[in-house]
Amino acid sequence: MNLLSLACSPAHGASFVVEKANLQIVDPPSLQGKYDTAIGDFGVPKYGAKLVGEVVFDKTNEKACTLFKDPAPKANGAGHSTVFLVDRGDCFFIEKAWHAQLAGANAVLVVDDVDEELLTMANPTAGQGGSSITELAKRIDIPSALIQKSLGDTIKKALEANTVVIVSLDWSASIANPDARVEWELWTTSNAVCGAACDRSVGFVHEIKEAAQKMENEGHASFTPHFLSWSCVDSVDPESACPDLCVNHGRYCAPDPVEGADVDAATVDLVRKNGYSGKDTVEENMRQLCVFAELVSRNATSEFWNYAVRHSGECNLTAGTFNALCSEKILTDSPLLSPDPGLGFDQDAIGNVRTCVGDLTADKTNKLMEKELQLQSDADDSG
């Protein structure tokens, strides 16, 4: 997933849906109850499963911003895991999880430092924490979750009284699969030159393509793409508030394609030379949504991956080919083309995509983009 640094104040929330898991305090009886946690977007949540563990809190390293001096004590209960409790603050969430993992934790609960609604613990971009920090994401294989301050304070008081606190972390309801298929989503952007974050996103699309198509075609999974954006429409003057970043009079915006802190100078020069800006990213994001909608109508959604892989390689911001002409060539190329098939769209299908994207200079809404903004801010309480 790409995390975008937003240059303008978004009129619609630019946050992600907070993915939650259930935490149950099993023991002591005085604390028994069920609580929500917010799953971190790094590590490996045990989707569809549960973890029962004993909570450990090391007062010599409360925020887990350095290595723990001693290994975690082994849980006393048969089959119990060790769950580290750490405080929020002073370092990245991902560092806390890494230090806990090295000390032998099987899971990490991060206690929020203020009373607020749960939020997702994000993996920092290279621009935020340096490449060495982002590399930790590949090494963490334990689940992490954020809990509210009031709950964390209650658990710490029990531990201070030498009470053993046993919790059950439950991820069984974290995947929606009412029709026996795993339903999954990818939030991304068509921009492929924003630095390390975009490199990871493009790499994921290429790596997952074969498996994603196989799962989709065999009925084991149902995939939906989503594209990150925000709106400047509530600004005093949307056109001046977000220059060259928006379409449809400030309604749908994307960052400057090369605004990432780790984008090399040569890439910046080429993108600038070709005259690309955030509005070009928005246009392609909209086009890909419309392509997917057309594939849904044809019951051929697995073919979206053929488009996504070819587009990232052929329709390039640095080569001046990031445009509708390049996109529509992929759409019209034969699906039998080897090794890089197209989608075989006829002119009627191309027309449907163009109509779906619409007039980007018009002062009007786009149905698909409005839905994206709602989902992104969880305005419809999608869960």
- Condensed to tens digits (0 to 9), the pLDDT of residues 173-224 reads 665 555 677 888 898 999 999 988 899 999 999 999 999 999 999 998 999 9
pLDDT at 15 over 50: no
Lowest mean pLDDT among 19-28, 99-108, 128-137, 236-245: 128-137
**Which residues, listed in sequence order, are joined to residue 154 by a DSSP beta bridge?**
none
Q: Of 170, 192, 207, which closes a domain?
A: 170
pLDDT band, very low/low/confident/very high, at 260 (cuts 50, 70, 90)? confident
Sign of the alpha-carbon torsion through 266, 269, 275, 276: positive
Could you tell me if residue 175 is inside a domain? no
| Residues 371 and 224 grouped into a single domain | yes
Strands 166-170 and 50-56: antiparallel
Lowest mean pLDDT among 48-62, 178-192, 292-306: 178-192
DSSP state of 185: E
Q: What mean pLDDT comes out for the span 269-292? A: 96
| Residues 161 and 82 grouped into a single domain | yes
Structural contact between residues 55 and 85, judged by C-beta atoms closer than 8 angstroms: yes
| Residues 216 and 98 grouped into a single domain | no
Total number of domains constituting the chain: 2
| Residues 120 and 193 grouped into a single domain | no
What is the amino acid identity at position 115?
A: D
Contacts of 234 (CB under 8 A, 6+ apart): 11
Could you tell me if residue 11 is inside a domain? no
C-alpha Rg value of the chain to the nearest Å: 23
Lowest mean pLDDT among 91-100, 225-234, 286-295, 320-329: 225-234
- Output b/e per residue, 22-54; b: 16+ Cβ within 10 A: bbebbeeeebeeebbbbbbbbbebbeeeebbbb
Q: Is 79 helix (H, G, I), strand (E, B) or coil?
A: coil
Q: Of 146, 170, 194, which closes a domain?
A: 170
Could you tell me if residue 288 is inside a domain? yes
Q: Taking the CB of residue 180, how many other CB atoms lie within 10 A of it?
A: 7
| Residues 129 and 37 grouped into a single domain | yes
Could you tell me if residue 12 is inside a domain? no
- Condensed to tens digits (0 to 9), the pLDDT of residues 121-164 reads 766 654 555 556 667 777 888 888 899 999 999 999 999 999 99
pLDDT at 5 over 60: no
| Residues 125 and 209 grouped into a single domain | no
pLDDT at 92 over 60: yes
| Residues 108 and 256 grouped into a single domain | no
Q: Of 119, 140, 170, which closes a domain?
A: 170
Strands 33-39 and 221-227: unpaired
Could you tell me if residue 383 is inside a domain? no
pLDDT at 362 over 60: yes
Could you tell me if residue 82 is inside a domain? yes
Which of residues 84 and 135 earns the better pLDDT score? 84
| Residues 248 and 335 grouped into a single domain | yes
d(CA 169, CA 164): 16
Q: Residue 336: which domain range?
A: 182-376
Could you tell me if residue 229 is inside a domain? yes
- Choose from 15-19, 70-74, 369-373 the range with maximum mean pLDDT: 369-373
d(CA 309, CA 218): 21
What per-residue confidence (pLDDT) applies to 9? 29
Could you tell me if residue 6 is inside a domain? no
Measured in Å, how far apart are the chain's first and last C-alpha atoms?
Answer: 19
> Is residue 101 classed exposed, middle or buried when 0-12, 13-18 and 19+ CB atoms within 10 A define those classes?
buried
pLDDT at 101 over 60: yes
Structural contact between residues 140 and 43, judged by C-beta atoms closer than 8 angstroms: yes
| Residues 162 and 298 grouped into a single domain | no
Q: What mean pLDDT comes out for the span 236-250? A: 80
What per-residue confidence (pLDDT) applies to 238? 65
| Residues 152 and 229 grouped into a single domain | no
Structural contact between residues 251 and 230, judged by C-beta atoms closer than 8 angstroms: no
**Which residues, listed in sequence order, are joined to residue 22 by a DSSP beta bridge?**
36, 170
What per-residue confidence (pLDDT) applies to 173? 64
> Is residue 182 classed exposed, middle or buried when 0-12, 13-18 and 19+ CB atoms within 10 A define those classes?
middle
Q: Which of 248, 254, 258, 257 is nearest to 229 (CA)?
A: 254
What per-residue confidence (pLDDT) applies to 22? 82
Give CA 202 to chain center in angstroms.
Answer: 14
d(CA 346, CA 332): 6
What per-residue confidence (pLDDT) applies to 136? 77
Q: Which of 309, 273, 296 is nearest to 353 (CA)?
A: 296
Q: What mean pLDDT comes out for the span 350-372? A: 94
CATH number at residue 36: 3.50.30.30
| Residues 207 and 323 grouped into a single domain | yes
Strands 144-147 and 33-39: antiparallel
pLDDT band, very low/low/confident/very high, at 12 (cuts 50, 70, 90)? very low
Q: What mean pLDDT comes out for the span 270-296? A: 96
d(CA 161, CA 176): 40
| Residues 193 and 227 grouped into a single domain | yes
